[in-house]
Amino acid sequence: MSAATASPTEAAALLPQVLGAGHAIALGLGQIFLQPRAWTGMLILAGITVHCPLMALQALLGTVIATVAARSLGLPLEAGLQGYNGALVGLAAWSTLSATWPATLVTTVGAAACPAISRLLATVCDRSGLPVLTAPFCVISGLMTMLVGSIAPTPHAGSAASDESVVVLLAEGVLTSVAEVVLAPSWIAGLIILVGLLVAGRRVATAALLGAAVGTIMCDLASGADAAHKGLDGYSPVLTAIAIAAVFLKDGARSWMVALIASALTVIVEWGLALAPIPIYTWPFIITTWAVLAAVRWRDRRRRDGPP
């Protein structure tokens, strides 16, 4: 046996490290939808792969690089919180460039910067008790988009208009909204991802459908079923509804009512941001979630402390 060949004992010793690394990467992918679930992350990756295998590779690369960069900075790797922004940077790079080597370069540089930007933003957000969410991705991908010579991401084609019934178009639009969180304009990808969210819990999947439905219906009322079919007004409400109803607020009637209102507000914020010459990405989700969480906590504090 040559010196370069690992013995069975050495291979067995490496196995836990390999499995641990794979688990951390899967958790990072799951955190795109705020879910620290490895199976959820793997199904998200499967959905992206069905849409575009090369795009899935960029997501995987971004997750790995961001996780490694976080470890080099001594940041905690628990629950995959260091990987998801890198995955989104990779997805945005492919969506914008659609060319392997330029996208790989942008993914590498952008994902490597994610942990440092996340730590910087956390120092600001922690003062107000708000989560960082996908802000590092939005900051980095927005800057990278402008650096590669475009003030906004090249719009991907989305779903083409068809002769299908309005009901079918809207149903596919709801699923496409779920997939558009990972910039994949595919209702089939959305269905696979939704299964992954169901693995994380019925509450999570229900919240995702609520946000997607609100965004799809509002887009249909404003622009018609063909526009709603593309899912572009539904993906940020998906994240908002999950954050409010399934992550940050206690389960109950209030959390679902707040999630419903917040999903509608997210669409309005998105329409407003569309007037600005910047990449929108998930800023509507971030802005709305921050505002709603701050308002809910302020109201709860007022109730607890009573009138002055």
Closest CA to 230 of 172, 168, 284, 153: 172
Structure confidence at residue 13 (pLDDT)? 54
Stretch 273-300: mean pLDDT: 94
Q: How confident is the model at residue 79 (pLDDT cuts 50, 70, 90)?
A: confident
Closest CA to 182 of 140, 142, 220, 231: 231
- What CA–CA distances, in Å, run from 206 to 199, 245, 263, 297? 12, 9, 13, 24
| Structure token pair of residue 249 | 């607020």
pLDDT digits (tens, 9 = 90+) for 18-62: 556 788 899 999 999 999 999 999 999 999 999 999 999 999 999
Return d(Cα 6, Cα 4) in angstroms, integer.
6
Is 8 within a domain?
A: no
Query: In sequence order, what are the residues at sequence separation of 6 or more whose Cβ sits closer than 8 angstroms to the Cβ of residue 158?
Result: 176, 185, 229, 230, 231, 232
Query: In sequence order, what are the residues at sequence separation of 6 or more whose Cβ sits closer than 8 angstroms to the Cβ of residue 34?
Result: 239, 242, 243, 246, 247
Structure confidence at residue 153 (pLDDT)? 45
Residue 237 pLDDT more than 80? yes
Residues 101 and 132 in one domain: yes
Is 308 within a domain?
A: no
Structure confidence at residue 132 (pLDDT)? 96
Task: Give the residue numbers spanning the domain of 281.
Answer: 161-296
Residue type, 298: W
Stretch 192-209: mean pLDDT: 98
**pLDDT: is 195 or 144 the higher one?**
195
Number of folded domains in the chain? 2
Residues 170 and 130 in one domain: no
Is 61 within a domain?
A: yes
Stretch 12-23: mean pLDDT: 62
Closest CA to 131 of 84, 178, 186, 71: 84
Residues 130 and 182 in one domain: no
pLDDT digits (tens, 9 = 90+) for 137-191: 999 999 988 787 654 445 454 444 566 789 999 999 999 999 999 999 999 999 9
